[in-house]
Amino acid sequence: MKRLLSLLATFALASTLIAQPWIAKHGLTAAQYQKAFDDLSKQGYYPKMVTGYSLNNQANYAALWQKTNIPASEFHHGLTAAQYQSTFDDLNKKGYRLVYVQGFTVGSTPYFNGIWQKTGGPAMIARHNLTAQQYQQVFDQNKNYKPKIISAYTVNGTPYFDGIWEQTSSPAWVARHNLTAQQYQDNFTQFMNQGYKLTCVTGYTNGGQAAYAAIWEKVSSPMWAARHGILLNFYQYEFDNYYDQGYTPQFLTGYNVGNSVQFAGIWNNPNISAADMYRIDTSINNYMKRNKVPGLCVAFCKNDKLVFSKGYGNAVKETGEPASPDHRWRIASVSKPMTSLGIMKLFASGKLKLSDKVFGPGGILSNFTVPNNNSLAKDITVSHLLHHTSGFQNAKGDPAFIHYEMTIDQIIQWELNNEIITKAPGSSPLYLNFGYILLARIIEKLDGGPSYEKFVQQQVFAPCGVTGMQIGKNDLSQRLPNEVQYYGSSAGGNPYGLHLDRMAGNGGWIASAPDLARVLVHINGNHGVADILPKAQMDSLTETTPNSNGYGCGFVVWGGGAKGHNGAMDGTNALLHDAGDGGGWTVVLNTRAEQDTFAWTLDSILGNLYKTISWPNYDLF
């Protein structure tokens, strides 16, 4: 799925997920909506519903389209009251039946959207522009008619209602209107506990505050979810979050509360059981609570397919921005596998061997001076750097976090001058950020073209279908589009005191959880999708050395084909775990977990879910 993060956004679920693909768009002007309608109708998509609202004093539209065969239909939007009545009367004479209506206002003028189909059905009543009293009278005078659609809007401070009622004796139903937000929530909880499902909800302004009208029916249904009061800026995140959990949209409405635009929606999930969803949510929410985590996003893969991704908590606490699969997060040391993959690309192309020397005459980085008292540095190879066995010790501090006044080349030379290697390279392990700073510099030197960042984007991420990963910025004021905000733990630390440009090769990347999962399925050797490396380099990723302490080339190696990496620094935890069977999981956090600072407990929790959940057999990529 291509994720478009502007106000104009599109999603289409593959036919393996639901019987009928759907597309959702919002933030459309009248002209944009008409063009979308014309383009999509040629592809066999038809609006299931279209909702209007006022933005900057002009009509905007959001709509849901389904790819399905339908009877003869008429679709109209932005009709004045007179136009709507005329259209209704004309189509009624031609045998068309109103199946959807929604009203909204721009300024003090009401407008109407409607869908008519040439189809039969029970006796029905359709009304529009009803006051609250008139709306109640329809209910009172037509006891054997069940409301199918309710729409509400406000004209000069007065709420008005539209609706469609159908004659029926079942199932049991309940309708409420003029509910405050709290009353709506209380009713929602009450009726849900009694076995009712929300089938329609609309918001509007009443007395300057948000008000709601809704319909509940006692019907059997797969697991479902509903949201209201979704702010315009967060709409996309909410929609994507439901998409990547396997939900399909059933109802959508946009509405104005004062000067704000909000949305409400209803989704069904026929793909994951309620019990499994409860286990996933409970496990992750409990972990977040224990570890004071503001926001988290997880992704699970099976058989090289993305089967689930979900954001939990907040991307930004201060604004309430919800975490979603679209958000990008610092991934800390999960950056090391990305650097290793870049090195393996050079290895595969013949530009280096893992046995190549790094420093000294003939070394890749021969432009750096090795002091006479640090001669063992001349024996360091690319393999030593990848395996954390170079012999450097961080005795005078980790070069990733000191002397920020220096350039990368200056800190490399400083390390050679001041960190004297006393044990032969390859003889002992020490997990080292500096080795991956050097590997990033090697990539730049040998490629001779773009920066390290551009090389990895073009040679590693592009073949995986990943376009959103990049080196992060240092300051909060530089936060990139769709990037989360980072929060220090109570133990201290400053997420915005780091220099990600210095740390590019060892900890500088930002990524979404689904994009990390895309990388995972292209380097797991499963062949459900093509690996981005030849077999020789794929094998090298998990080759350990006698003294590398189980560390391969940029990956922790667990055996049986399983490999991965964790990431941890101020404001961040991350994990990439290839389970070795064509699947695995990724997770990103916007703080460093209080009681799980290296995220291995979280890794175990996700591993248990991976093994025990009945995952759907579809692909959300």
Residue 4 pLDDT > 60? no
At residue 5, the pLDDT reads 28
Split into its structural domains, the chain has a count of 2
Q: Is residue 541 part of a domain?
A: yes
pLDDT of residue 10: 39
pLDDT tens sequence across 47-58 = 999 999 999 999
Which helix (H) or strand (E) segment is 577 a member of? strand 572-578
Are both 485 and 592 inside the same structural domain? yes
Confidence of residue 15 (pLDDT cuts 50, 70, 90): very low
Q: 544 and 442, same structural domain?
A: yes
Q: Do residues 562 and 494 both lie within one domain?
A: yes
- Given a contact cutoff of 8 angstroms between Cβ atoms, the answer to whether 520 and 303 are in contact is no
Question: Whose CA is closest to 613, among 222, 285, 308?
Answer: 308
Instruction: Report if residue 357 sits inside a domain.
Output: yes
Cα(483)–Cα(136) distance, rounded to whole angstroms?
47
Higher pLDDT, 528 or 7: 528
Q: What is the pLDDT of residue 540?
A: 96
Give which of 510, 506, 509 is closest to 408, Cα–Cα. Answer: 506
Confidence (pLDDT) at 17: 43
Q: Quick one: 215 and 348 in the same domain?
A: no
352-372 tens-digit pLDDT: 999 999 999 999 999 999 999
277 within a domain of the structure (yes/no)? no
Mean pLDDT across 269-275: 95
Assess whether pLDDT exceeds 90 at residue 406: yes
Instruction: Name residues whose C-beta falls within 8 Å of residue 612's C-beta, 6 or more positions apart in sequence.
Output: 279
Instruction: Kindly report the CATH number assigned to the domain that includes residue 588.
Output: 3.40.710.10
Confidence band for 528, pLDDT divided at 50, 70 and 90: confident
Q: Is residue 174 part of a domain?
A: yes
Instruction: Give mean pLDDT, residues 406-434.
Output: 97
What average pLDDT is seen over the chain?
94
* Backbone Cα Rg of the chain: 29
8 A C-beta contact, residue 102 and residue 151: yes
Q: What are φ and ψ of residue 508, in 5° steps?
A: -100, -10
Q: How confident is the model at residue 473 (pLDDT cuts 50, 70, 90)?
A: very high
**Which residue shows structure tokens 């396997």?**
246
pLDDT digit string (tens) for 119-134? 999 999 999 999 999 9
Tokens of 284: 């992750």
The answer as to whether 35 is a domain residue is no
Rounded-to-integer distance, Cα 40 and Cα 356, Å: 56
As a whole number, mean pLDDT of residues 108-127 equals: 96
Considering only residues 146 and 15, tell me which one the structure prediction assigns the higher pLDDT: 146
Q: Are residues 253 and 367 in the same domain?
A: no
Task: Say if residue 569's pLDDT is above 80.
Answer: yes
Q: Please tell me whether residues 262 and 339 are part of one structural domain.
A: no
The pair of three-digit structure tokens given for residue 461, joined into one six-digit string: 């991420």
Residue after which a domain boundary falls, among 271, 287, 305: 271
**Cβ proximity of 193 and 186 under 8 Å:** no
- Give tens-digit pLDDT for 530-553: 999 999 999 999 999 999 999 999
Going through 143-190 in order, the beta strands assigned E by DSSP cover: 145-155, 158-167, 173-180
pLDDT at position 601, please?
98
pLDDT for the residue 162: 96
User: Does residue 392 lie in a domain region?
Assistant: yes
Q: Are 312 and 295 in contact (CB under 8 A)?
A: yes
> What pLDDT is attached to residue 7?
30
The last residue of one of the domains, among 271, 305, 338, is 271
Look at residue 489 and tell me whether its pLDDT is greater than 60. yes
Domain finish residue from 239, 255, 271: 271
Residue 187 neighbours by CB distance under 10 Å: 18
Minimal CA–CA distance to 54: which of 213, 255, 265, 264? 255
Give the model's pLDDT for residue 23.
87
Same domain for 333 and 434: yes
Domain range for residue 553?
329-612
Residues 210 and 345 in one domain: no
Do residue 399 and residue 534 come from a single domain? yes
Question: Average pLDDT of 259-272?
Answer: 95
Residues 406 and 489 in one domain: yes
> Where does the pLDDT of residue 22 fall: very low under 50, low under 70, confident under 90, or very high at 90 and above?
confident
262 and 125 in one domain? yes
What would the pLDDT profile of 597-608 be if each residue is shown by its tens digit?
999 999 999 999
State pLDDT tens for residues 164-217. Answer: 999 988 889 999 999 999 999 999 999 999 999 999 999 999 999 999 999 999
Confidence band, pLDDT 50/70/90 cuts, at residue 527 = confident
Residue 14 has a pLDDT of: 37
- The answer to whether position 260 is within a domain reads yes
Whole-model pTM: value is 0.93
pLDDT tens figures, 56-72: 999 999 999 999 899 99
56 CB neighbour count, 10 Å cutoff: 9
Asked if residue 262 and residue 333 are part of one domain, the reply reads: no
In a domain, 300, yes or no: no
Q: What percentage of the chain reaches a pLDDT higher than 70?
A: 97
Contact status, residue 386 vs residue 375, Cβ threshold 8 Å: no
Predicted pLDDT at 11 = 39
